[in-house]
Amino acid sequence: MSHSLDSPLYYPPAWVEAGATKFDWLEVMVKKTIKGKITIDRERCKGCQICIEVCPTNRIEVDKSLNKKGYYPARFKENVSEGEKGCTGCAQCATVCPEVAIEVYRAK
């Protein structure tokens, strides 16, 4: 079985030779961040707020204005304040959205 360099199961041979432990490698992998962004189709969203509940970084909130159907849709918080985490691109929000109103984009 092969693993990519991004896989926590991969342990570089050079690290073994240098005397590093697998925990050193895992610590590096945990610190690595993937930046993401989502778009929410506000007209398709019915404001169920399931995406808000599952977002691990709390980057989704309820919009203050109604959509054409009379719902308060979800809204992506793009601006990240100091001390807050940004979107990781995990796609949990898109996975649980019953209206398929969320698209996830990941930075490479």
pLDDT tens digits, 47-102 = 999 999 999 999 999 999 999 999 999 999 988 887 888 899 999 999 999 999 99
Domains and CATH numbers, the chain: 1-32 (no CATH), 36-106 (3.30.70.20)
Predicted TM-score (pTM) above 0.85: no
The CA distance from 20 to 3, in Å, is 19
Helix (H) or strand (E) holding 17: helix 13-17
Q: How many residues does the chain have?
A: 108
